[in-house]
Amino acid sequence: MKRAKIGGLGYYVPSRIVTNDDLAKLMNTSDEWIQERTGIKERRYIVPGEDTGANMAAKASRIAIERAGISPDDIDFIILGTLSPDMDFPGTGVLLQRELGLHNKGIGALDIRNQCSGFVYGLSIADQFIRTGMYKNILLVGVEIHSTGLEFNDRGRHISVIFGDGAGAAVIQVSDDEDKGILSTHLHADGSQAEELCTLNPGSVNSPRLAPEMIEDGSIFPHMNGRLVFKYAVQKFPEVIGEALTATGYKPEDIDLLIPHQANLRISEFVRRSLNLPEEKMYNNIQWYGNTTAASVPIALTEAWEKGLIKDNDLVCLAAFGSGFTWASALIRW
Interacting residue ranges for ligand ACO, rule: CB under 6 A: 29, 33, 37-38, 116, 157-158, 161-162, 197, 224, 226-227, 229-230, 233, 263-264, 266-267, 291, 321-322
Judge whether 72 and 49 are in contact, CB under 8 Å: no
**Which C-beta is closer to ligand ACO: that of 195 or that of 314?**
195
Query: What's the rounded Cα separation, in Å, for the pair 117 and 294?
Result: 6
* 26 contact partners, CB below 8 Å, separation of at least 6: 152, 153
Question: Of all residues in this chain, which one has the CB nearest to ligand ACO in the complex?
Answer: 226
Q: Which of 170, 135, 174, 138 is nearest to 62 (CA)?
A: 170
Q: What's the min distance (Å) between Cβ of 317 and ligand ACO?
A: 17
**Which C-beta is closer to ligand ACO: that of 109 or that of 263?**
263
- Return the DSSP state at 289: H
Prior bond of 90 cis (ω within 30°): yes
Q: Which of 107, 95, 101, 115 is nearest to 53 (CA)?
A: 95
Q: Is the dihedral of CA 270, 273, 279, 282 positive or negative?
A: negative
Q: What's the min distance (Å) between Cβ of 289 and ligand ACO?
A: 13
**Which C-beta is closer to ligand ACO: that of 124 or that of 262?**
262
**Which C-beta is closer to ligand ACO: that of 183 or that of 263?**
263
Amino acid letter for position 236: K
Q: What's the min distance (Å) between Cβ of 17 and ligand ACO?
A: 18
Q: What's the min distance (Å) between Cβ of 80 and ligand ACO?
A: 19
Q: Which amino acids are annotated catalytic?
A: 116, 261, 291
Amino acid letter for position 328: A
The pairing of beta strand 223-224 with beta strand 197-198: antiparallel
**Which C-beta is closer to ligand ACO: that of 70 or that of 143?**
143
Q: Is the dihedral of CA 247, 251, 252, 256 positive or negative?
A: negative
Q: What's the min distance (Å) between Cβ of 241 and ligand ACO?
A: 15
Q: What's the min distance (Å) between Cβ of 166 and ligand ACO?
A: 14
Q: How many residues does the chain have?
A: 334
Q: Which of 287, 282, 82, 229 is nearest to 167 (CA)?
A: 82
**Alpha helices per DSSP H over the chain:** 20-24, 31-38, 53-67, 92-99, 118-132, 157-160, 212-216, 226-248, 265-274, 286-289, 296-306
**Which C-beta is closer to ligand ACO: that of 38 or that of 92?**
38
